[in-house]
């Protein structure tokens, strides 16, 4: 997943299969990764002050979803 404006990148954990909705959270890890919640470390967080769309790519680099913020 990549922020279009800020170019921050989140790589899903190895062997993770996205089968529905998942929340990607940042900051202090208050929970373990699960099928519905993933933790984004404090490095390269999505912190733009303006709207920033998100592009979701599969493992082959093909765009599979786009969220226009």
pLDDT tens-place string over residues 9-65: 888 888 888 888 888 876 666 667 777 788 776 555 666 667 888 899 988 999 999
How many other CB atoms are found less than 10 A from the CB of residue 35? 12
3 in Cβ contact with 52 (< 8 Å)? yes
Read off the tokens for 51.
């709207």
pLDDT at res. 4: 86
pTM for this predicted structure: 0.68
pLDDT at res. 42: 58
pLDDT at res. 38: 82
Element (DSSP H or E) covering residue 18: none
Pairing of strands 23-26, 37-40: parallel
pLDDT at res. 63: 96
């Amino acid at each position: 997943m990549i922020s279009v404006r800020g170019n921050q990148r989140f790589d899903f954990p190895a062997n993770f299969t996205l089968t529905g909705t998942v929340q990607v959270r940042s900051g202090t890890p208050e929970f373990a990764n699960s099928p519905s919640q993933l933790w984004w470390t404090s490095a390269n967080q999505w912190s733009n002050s303006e709207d920033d769309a998100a592009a979701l790519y599969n493992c082959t680099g093909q765009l599979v979803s786009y969220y226009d913020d």
